[in-house]
Structure 1
Amino acid sequence: MRFAAIADIHGNCAALTAVLDDVAALGIRDIVNLGDCFSGPLDAGRTADLLLLLDMNAVQTVRGNHDRYLLETPPEAMGRSDAHAHALLAPRHFEWLRKLPTSMVWREEVFLCHATPQQDDVYWLDSVSGEGKVVLRPQAQIERFAEGVEQSLILCGHSHLPRVVTLSDGRMIVNPGSVGCPAYHDDEPVPHDVENGHALACYAILEENERGWAPQFRTVGYDHMAASRLAADAGRADWASALATGRMG
């Protein structure tokens, strides 16, 4: 089995298009999408149209926390990134979001979720220290989140950081990184920045061979400065910096 995993597009249609072109150039047809599709000061509507088209071609998608916020939070109470996306989405896009599962088993061997199986807004492979440093989560905590998941390959997103962790029983957890948002600031559980340090779109290829799963992380260039200008035009200097440099200012 060989397929691509994408996550955390965040309305960045240009980055998504570049990743899809790279996937096609490699001859890969199967793609799974781990959620947080639209939220951000970018191209939520165009991104949604593209994802709906992909959905008709059997791309499997699970719902992320920001996808849930777009459905459950009144527009006047949304954060700026969600509110910007909400205003650009059409009824058909919201209907597609409503149909997405929070997790799923794909082809019997692969478990898909956005963050953890239990919650869509908790980092699985990473934790945040009291000083706001993002670090690898202790193995015992990672294993605890994986209790009850039987599949040999587990895919998650949410942190935007490409990472692979092997569990004590041989199962593998992979975060493919973020297609469309290489850096961001969050206030929960304490204020912290997540920074990839580059402006490239990230995704992963997963291939199963006689030795098990072999993940390959890929980065793809695109016109990230156009995306940065789009964010700046929307009044989001934080996003403009993240998209231009992969750092928060």
Structure 2
Amino acid sequence: MRFAAIADIHGNDLALRAVLDHIAGQGIDRIVNLGDCFSGPLRADRTFAILKDLDIPTVRGNHDRYLVENPVDTLGPSDAHAHGQLDAAAFAWLRALPFDRVFLDEVYLCHATPQDDDVYFLETVDSDGNIRPQVMEEVERLARGIGESLILCAHSHIARSARLSDGRLVVNPGSVGCPAYDDDMPVPHKVEVGHPRACYVICDKIDNHWHIAFQQVEYDNMAMSDLARDNGRPEWASGLKDGFIR
């Protein structure tokens, strides 16, 4: 069983196209999507056009949920920008996304954790706003009740994996389209992956063991950085330029 997992596209259609081309170049024809597809000051409409035609297993991200559940006048700037670009078909597509799902009877998919679409699975944020790897006892607790041998999550945009005591593997593929962001929950903090490349992961089951290969793909990130700046989001422009918020 060999497939690719993508996540956190955030309206970056150029990064998504580059990743899809890279996946095809590996001879892989099965892909799953872990959500947060559109939110950002980029091109949600073009991103939806790609995803609609792909028709791949997808779960709902927290920002996907905000777009369909929250009144427009309460949305943050990234969600509001995406909302203004999406049509009725895109909103119907978002409303139909499940919170979680099982892929090919062996892989559990969620956006953040099995309990909550807005909580980090493999990371934690301390009171000073520093983001750190989550202690394994808490990862084990969050994975309780999930029987599949591979658990895929996203949300933090950080490519990372952790093997549980019973052999199950938890994997975050990183972000296709947003290498740095700031957030105010649970406390103000920044996530900076330190490079601008588009990320995804290849999952391959060989002799009953999962083999994970994290991928980084070059694309015209400066075009998207310039677009974010033109749309009044200098922090996004910085993150897309080099993976840091300056």
Q: Which residue of 2 aligns with 1:88?
A: 85
Secondary structure of the structure 1 residue equivalent to 2:23: helix
Q: Which residue of 2 aligns with 1:62?
A: 59
Once residues 20 and 151 of structure 1 are traced to their aligned partners in structure 2, the CA distance between those partners, rounded to angstroms, is: 26
Q: Which residue of 2 aligns with 1:21?
A: 21
**What number of residue pairs does the alignment pair up?**
246
Once residues 136 and 205 of structure 1 are traced to their aligned partners in structure 2, the CA distance between those partners, rounded to angstroms, is: 22
Letter in 2 for 1:25: G
Q: Deviations over 1:56-112 (max 9, x none)?
A: xxx100000000000011111100000000000000000001111000011110000
Q: Which residue of 2 aligns with 1:47?
A: 47
Q: Kindly, what percent of the aligned residue pairs are identical?
A: 58
Q: Which residue of 2 aligns with 1:191?
A: 188
Letter in 1 for 2:57: Q
Question: How do residues 124-143 of structure 1 correspond to structure 2 at under 5 angstroms?
Answer: 124-143=121-140
How far 1:137 moved relative to its partner?
0.5
Q: Which residue of 1 aligns with 2:31?
A: 31
Once residues 19 and 105 of structure 1 are traced to their aligned partners in structure 2, the CA distance between those partners, rounded to angstroms, is: 23
Question: How do residues 80-119 of structure 1 correspond to structure 2 at under 5 angstroms?
Answer: 80-119=77-116
Once residues 221 and 90 of structure 1 are traced to their aligned partners in structure 2, the CA distance between those partners, rounded to angstroms, is: 30
How far 1:210 moved relative to its partner?
1.3
How far 1:224 moved relative to its partner?
0.3
1:214 and 2:211 matched = yes
Secondary structure of the structure 2 residue equivalent to 1:202: strand
Q: Which residue of 2 aligns with 1:172?
A: 169
Once residues 110 and 159 of structure 2 are traced to their aligned partners in structure 1, the CA distance between those partners, rounded to angstroms, is: 15
Secondary structure of the structure 2 residue equivalent to 1:60: coil
Secondary structure of the structure 1 residue equivalent to 2:235: helix
Q: Which residue of 2 aligns with 1:182?
A: 179
Q: Which deviates more, 209-218 or 117-126?
A: 209-218
Q: Deviations over 1:32-59 (max 9, x none)?
A: 000000000000000001101001xxx1
Q: Which residue of 1 aligns with 2:155?
A: 158
Once residues 141 and 19 of structure 1 are traced to their aligned partners in structure 2, the CA distance between those partners, rounded to angstroms, is: 32
How far 1:145 moved relative to its partner?
0.5
TM-score, normalising length from structure 1? 0.98
Once residues 14 and 70 of structure 2 are traced to their aligned partners in structure 1, the CA distance between those partners, rounded to angstroms, is: 27
- Runs of 4+ in structure 1 displaced over 6 angstroms? none
Secondary structure of the structure 1 residue equivalent to 2:89: helix
1:77 and 2:74 matched = yes
Q: Deviations over 1:193-224 (max 9, x none)?
A: 10000000000000001151010000000000
Once residues 5 and 240 of structure 1 are traced to their aligned partners in structure 2, the CA distance between those partners, rounded to angstroms, is: 25
How far 1:177 moved relative to its partner?
0.1
Letter in 2 for 1:187: D
Once residues 52 and 114 of structure 1 are traced to their aligned partners in structure 2, the CA distance between those partners, rounded to angstroms, is: 19
> Where do 5+ consecutive residues of structure 2 fail to align?
none
TM-score, normalising length from structure 2? 0.99
Once residues 211 and 125 of structure 2 are traced to their aligned partners in structure 1, the CA distance between those partners, rounded to angstroms, is: 28
> Where do 5+ consecutive residues of structure 1 fail to align?
none
1:121 and 2:118 matched = yes
